[in-house]
Structure 1
């Protein structure tokens, strides 16, 4: 018996594309915070997560 994957390639591509867009928005926001000293928030953004290459 063959197990059918619950997620098609198109669904996976769409999910990964959305994750990339979300990550880009988050990184841009962190960059703006770090470059905007009048907000008093400089340096308070957490570093971006490090991707684990061992999958």
Structure 2
């Protein structure tokens, strides 16, 4: 079997760090969306 990746395999620490970085980015985006939704619903209630 041949390895179809263009890049050489990363070590475990780099792979874990990349996964954590991606998870953190997704989590922050989700939290920002939730905050925007809460702010929008609060504005709607005040009117």
TM-score of the pair, normalised by structure 2: 0.63
1:5-51: CA deviation from partner (whole Å, max 9, x where unpaired): 5211111100001011101100000001111124xxxxxxxxxxxxx
| Correspondence for 2:9 | 6
Larger Rg: 2
Runs of 4+ in 1 over 4 A off after TM superposition: none
Q: Show structure 2 runs of 5+ residues with no match.
A: none
TM-score of the pair, normalised by structure 1: 0.55
Higher relative contact order (CA 8 A, sep 6+): 1
